[in-house]
């Protein structure tokens, strides 16, 4: 790993240069997205929820309950975008990865570099998102590092999963529609994002248990306002995210190299 690191940095350098071309959209989306969610759901739905449950959701105002989930969602979706689009481009649209593999780079180094650059985007997105949350009074100043940290972890680990999945995609349109409709949206809706997971019938709760978003949200609520979480649960959730990320990266690297040398 220590030997391959510099080479993957060079791939990340290219990815960041490419991302820089999209900086206006990235910034606009990074700020616009949380503002829209907070105004519509945080404040709008929140007013309704809080009016009907004076004790709040699990004991806190809805906005506080929602904030860590939204932050983790933003991180995961940033990871998904920033990994899957460059990967589809590299394998299908302009086949640039094949040109990169003709240099001294290996497939694994290209995979590492893509994830590394996506991590930079994830940190940026979560930081901006946290700032907007803070401006809306949804998080405390003290929660900055732990919340941004845990969301980034979730985003990067999901990015690694996306790396493994996207690198297997044969066609872009199928991949995009399947991923967004059957993976990202259900994850967003059924991971205890808008209400505690326990509210769902048991036969739907498994979506949350396997969802990195739910684990990140549980950790986030604990770190943000001290929602009850047993230490073993915190450990388990962290370990789950790390395991997901490690598996994704390992499989992703392998598929990259195999596909570029087939």
Partner 1 sequence: MIRARALTKAYSRAASAKRAERRPSEDTSAKRAERRPSEVSTGSDGGRTLLAVDGIDLDVAAGESFGILGANGAGKSTTMRMIGATLQRTSGELTILGRDPAHEGPVIRAHLGVVPQQDTLDTELTVRENLLTYGRYFGLPRTALVPRIEELLDFAQLQDKRDEKVEALSGGMKRRLTIARGLVNDPSLLLLDEPTTGLDPQARHILWDRLYQLRETGVTLVLTTHYMDEAEQLCERLVIMDAGRIVAEGAPADLIRTYSSREVVEVRFGTNRNSEVLPHLHGIGDRIEELPDRLLVYTDTGESDLQEIVARGFMPVTALVRRASLEDVFLRLTGRSLVDG
Residue 7 interacting with partner 1 (CB under 8 A): yes
Nearest distance from residue 88's CB to partner 1, in Å?
Answer: 14
Residue 103 interacting with partner 1 (CB under 8 A): yes
Closer to partner 1 at the Cβ: 28 or 239?
28
Q: What are phi and psi of 60, to 5 degrees?
A: -130, 155
Residue 14 interacting with partner 1 (CB under 8 A): yes
Near partner 1 by CB under 8 A: residue from 24, 52, 104, 173: 104
Contact 152, 70 (CB under 8 A): no
Residue 98 interacting with partner 1 (CB under 8 A): yes
Residue 261 interacting with partner 1 (CB under 8 A): yes
Enter the DSSP assignment of 143.
Answer: G
**Of 71, 85, 99, whose CA–CA distance to 163 is shortest?**
85
Distance between CA atoms of residues 239 and 212, nearest Å: 11
Nearest distance from residue 161's CB to partner 1, in Å?
Answer: 24
Near partner 1 by CB under 8 A: residue from 64, 69, 88, 100: 100
Distance between CA atoms of residues 93 and 64, nearest Å: 42
Residue 95 interacting with partner 1 (CB under 8 A): yes
Distance between CA atoms of residues 232 and 221, nearest Å: 15
The rounded Cα 250 to chain-centroid distance in angstroms is: 18
DSSP assignment of 155-197, as one string?
HHHHHHHHHHHHTT-S-HHHHHHHIIIIIIHHHHHSSSSSS-G
Closer to partner 1 at the Cβ: 102 or 202?
102
Q: What are phi and psi of 196, to 5 degrees?
A: -60, 145
Closer to partner 1 at the Cβ: 50 or 172?
172
Residue 102 interacting with partner 1 (CB under 8 A): yes
Beta bridge partners of 60: 57
Near partner 1 by CB under 8 A: residue from 18, 127, 233, 247: 18
Distance between CA atoms of residues 248 and 165, nearest Å: 8
Near partner 1 by CB under 8 A: residue from 33, 77, 87, 106: 106
Residue 85 interacting with partner 1 (CB under 8 A): no
Place of tokens 């900055």: 144
Residue 25 interacting with partner 1 (CB under 8 A): no
Token output for 118: 């996506």
Residue 54 interacting with partner 1 (CB under 8 A): no
Residue 40 interacting with partner 1 (CB under 8 A): no
The piece of 17-25, 75-83, 120-128, 244-252 that touches partner 1 (CB under 8 A) is 17-25
Sign of the C-alpha dihedral, residues 217, 148, 137, 225? positive
Closer to partner 1 at the Cβ: 99 or 204?
99
Residue 105 interacting with partner 1 (CB under 8 A): yes
Write out the residues near partner 1 by the rule CB under 8 A: 6-7, 10-11, 13-14, 17-18, 21, 94-96, 98-106, 260-262
């Amino acid at each position: 790993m220590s030997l391959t690191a510099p080479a993957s940095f060079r791939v990340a350098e290219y990815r960041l240069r490419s991302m820089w071309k999209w900086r206006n959209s990235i910034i606009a989306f990074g700020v616009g997205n949380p503002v829209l969610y907070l105004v519509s759901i945080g404040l709008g739905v929140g007013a309704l929820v809080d009016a009907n449950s004076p004790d709040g959701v699990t004991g806190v105002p809805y906005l506080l309950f929602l904030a860590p989930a939204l932050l983790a969602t933003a991180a995961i979706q940033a990871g998904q975008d920033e990994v899957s689009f460059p990967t589809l481009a590299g394998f299908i649209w302009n086949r640039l990865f094949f040109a990169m593999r003709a240099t001294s780079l290996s497939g694994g180094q290209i995979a590492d570099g893509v994830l590394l650059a996506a991590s930079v985007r994830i940190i940026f997105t979560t930081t901006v998102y946290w700032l907007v949350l803070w401006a809306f009074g949804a998080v405390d100043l003290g929660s900055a590092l732990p919340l941004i940290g845990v969301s980034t972890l979730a985003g990067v680990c999901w990015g690694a999963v996306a790396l493994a999945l996207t690198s297997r995609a044969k066609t872009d349109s199928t991949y995009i529609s399947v991923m967004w409709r059957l993976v990202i949206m259900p994850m967003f809706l059924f991971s205890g994002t808008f209400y505690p997971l326990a509210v769902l019938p048991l036969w739907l709760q498994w979506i949350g248990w396997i969802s990195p978003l739910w684990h990140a949200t549980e950790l986030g609520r604990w770190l943000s306002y001290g929602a009850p979480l047993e230490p073993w649960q915190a450990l388990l959730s962290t370990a789950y995210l790390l395991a997901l990320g490690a598996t994704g990266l390992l499989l992703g690297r392998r598929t990259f190299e195999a596909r570029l040398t087939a």
